[in-house]
Amino acid sequence: MLLLLSMIMVGSQTLLSAKLPAKTIVTPENTGTLNGFITDAETKETLISVTVSVKGTKVGALTNKNGFYSLKSIPLGKQTIVVSLLGYKKLEKEIVIEDNDSKKLNFELVPQSIQSKQVYVDAEREVEKRQISVSRVDIPIQQLSQLRIGGEADVFRALQFLPGVLTSSQISSGLYIRGGSPDQNLVLLDGSTVYNPSHLFGFISSFNPDAIKDVELIKGGYPAEYGSRLSAVLNLTQKDGNQEKYEGLASIGLISSRASAQGPIGNGSFFVGGRRTYLDLLLGALPEDKENPLPNFGFYDMNAKITQTIDANNKLFLSGFLSNDFLTLDGSGINFQLGLGNRAASLRWTHVFGDNLFSVINVSGSRYLTGFDGDNSGFKFKVENSIIDYTLKMDLEWFASNDLTIKGGYEGTLFNFNYLQSFGKDSISNSDSTTAGSTNLSIYDHTHSLFTQVNYQLTDLLSLQGGLRFNYWDSSNVTTWDPRIALRYQIQENFAVKAAYGIYHQYLRLASQQDFSFFDTWLPTDNSVLPSTARHYILSFETVPFENYGLNVDFYYKDLSNISELIQTATKGTKVADIFYSGNGRAYGAEIFLQKKVGDLTGWIGYATGFVYATFPDINGGREFRPKYDRRHDFKIVGMYKLNDRWDFSGTFTFQSGQSYTSATSRFGSAMPGESVNYSYVVPGQRYGERLPASHQLNLNANYTTTFFGLPARIMIDIYNVYSRRDIWFRYYNTDKNITTVTDVKLLPIIPTIAFEVKF
């Protein structure tokens, strides 16, 4: 149950079939079918992963990403339909099924606090037990809203509190998931690819939590409907908006402010929201510390969505997203400026064919831009990068029976890549020239993929998902086949074993300068290099040790080939092979995740241990080394407590091994003819042969619910980095003086904040 449905849920747009306890023998000739949508009773927002079952039978299913469900082989006569979801009141409705009857029936669920111990019903457990869910993590949005930093909830920070999920360099916009580098994660927002999923430092997410309805993270073994990445999938769905009434929200805090509005429009709804930080102003007021300079940074983002119902079988969704970041640092021997930006938009059309066929057509566009330039001890550097992609994805889902679901589709993308890299002692003024010490690439490309996957419940105890994905990239003229398979076997009532295997290919590569690796620069695979390949092997155990608790233990192994590392000494470059080394790697480890979803006290404890190794013929003398995204230990505790209707509290603690880096063994200098300035350079030691100290941090939050001129309001008090441990961001060597000095640029100290939120 755990395995099969999980892959089904992994697909997130597939409908899971499941069996319920009692036994009713029926045949196709004396049964009926039922399908429809499940929505929130207050907002008419469609709901994902809702359990829909026929009481006293083995017929059950979950809604897909669009809130759609389909039940088949329902016995004739009076039947009771049970609808349940964590955070909503259970609904039971009696209907009459006639011979060969096909009914369309929509249900509305009334929100209810997750503190209620009756929310998690037996029917939901029975359906969930038949999900594969290999390496898939769902965090209820109600819990996400309690994890606040700087006075606001944050999706990205919540993900960082999961075992095996780490920030890269503690400042990069990427995530390290199970030893994978940031470019190996597929991040989707309403079907659009987001290349930079966080604001600077990983301190606050690019995704405004007010705009997010569902968060799905698949840490490995994901199904065939997803492709183009080696490691993980993060799939986010934006809110449609309230179809019943107009409402808004405004929040003012010490770090940032945000506002949103939603309501009915036409035959549907709209949502619009935005955020802006003023951390640049806050940091500017702190005392200057020349030994440990603080960076100056800020950001803003916006989300928008319009949903329209054409008729009972057709819906349209138009989504938009943008974000911008800036960062400057002026310290002893180093100064730089960094700018990042995302733009994304998508148009999705969903259509229901009859009672068992569901289609989705999604057209999206995404743009990512970054600019980075500065000076390190007289050494000038400049990097500019942009990606523009236009994607068409079509899929068709057939609910053949309660035990069999088949899904297939097509995905095609047009890419435009631009990349400039220039390093040297002279000032860099012309970003369009390709002079000595620079790389300037402009690449147009397109890719095509076909996929199919089958979810089949073989017996009451054994479920299977199999899939196959075909990929073709034009620039490299390479065709690949990616088989995927997952199993779930129910050993005991509260214990199941799951397994998954899959082959994954990736054509995009992340170029990160070793000493300045906190920004993302993307390039495709061309005919000068082979695509990267990963093979996932996953074994997972799932059990319910106590009531309202879930325990998952995962073991994984990833075999990697044709992965890339940036050539630090690259000068001129006209193809991808000019700026990347190619090599192989492996990653393996284990994770333990204990979660409590309901009750006054909720949260989780997670621990992960991981090992990552890489081998490149041209790096480290061809000897195996451990990349910068290797972490030995990762421990997280998250707790949320609701004291009463007024007060709730939360806290997080994290501990993880330090990031590896390349130290220096010596320095050398040179004096250019006719110049009086000597330029000194350090000689690097073993590739990533040293490790920064371990990092750990404690954050505390308190929220007080009240009213403001009769409007619902909340006061939020947060303490970021309670004991003010300033972990090291990165380490560099200052060669301005005769004696080389080592300088650690550190992250933020303790920051207490207070924020005020009001709904209207």
CATH topology identical between 20-128 and 235-759:
no
**Length of the chain, in residues:** 760
Q: How are strands ordered across the β-sheet holding 17-18?
A: 17-18, 60-62, 51-54, 77-84, 91-97
Pick the CATH number of 235-759 from 2.130.10.30, 2.40.170.20, 3.40.50.10140, 3.20.20.140: 2.40.170.20
CA proximity to 615, closest of 603, 628, 630, 625: 625
pLDDT at 333 > cutoff 90: no
More confident residue, 290 or 259: 259
Task: Give the separation between CA 267 and CA 308, rounded to whole angstroms.
Answer: 5
More confident residue, 281 or 77: 77
Please answer whether residues 49 and 62 qualify as being in contact, where contact means their C-beta atoms are separated by less than 8 angstroms.
yes
pLDDT band at 575 (very low <50, low <70, confident <90, very high): confident
Percent of the chain surpassing pLDDT 90: 38
Strands 107-109 and 31-40, bridge-based pairing: parallel
pTM for this predicted structure: 0.85
pLDDT at 14: 36
pLDDT at 3: 35
Domain boundaries, the chain: 20-128, 235-759
Task: Give the separation between CA 652 and CA 648, rounded to whole angstroms.
Answer: 14
Fold exhibited by the domain 20-128:
Immunoglobulin-like (2.60.40)
Count of Cβ atoms closer than 10 Å to residue 459 Cβ: 10
CA proximity to 565, closest of 230, 179, 228, 181: 181
Tokens of 184: 């190996």
Q: Which run of H or of E encompasses 475?
A: none
pLDDT band at 641 (very low <50, low <70, confident <90, very high): very high
Task: Give the separation between CA 355 and CA 70, rounded to whole angstroms.
Answer: 7
The mean of the pLDDT values for the chain is: 82
CA proximity to 160, closest of 184, 183, 144, 141: 144
Helix count and strand count (H, E) for the chain: 5, 48
Question: At residue 349, what is the residue type?
Answer: W
pLDDT band at 92 (very low <50, low <70, confident <90, very high): very high
Count of Cβ atoms closer than 10 Å to residue 509 Cβ: 25
Beta strands in 191-295 (DSSP E): 192-193, 212-218, 232-238, 247-253, 256-265, 268-277
Count of Cβ atoms closer than 10 Å to residue 288 Cβ: 7
Task: Give the separation between CA 173 and CA 181, rounded to whole angstroms.
Answer: 11
Highest mean pLDDT among 103-107, 335-339, 390-394, 511-515: 390-394
pLDDT band at 221 (very low <50, low <70, confident <90, very high): very high
Residue 731 CB-half CA count within 13 A = 18
Alpha carbon 512 to its chain centroid, in Å, reads 20
Render pLDDT for 682-718 as a digit per residue (tens, 0 to 9): 777 777 777 888 889 899 999 999 999 999 999 989 8
Question: At residue 688, what is the residue type?
Answer: Y
For tokens 């309501």, name the residue: 263
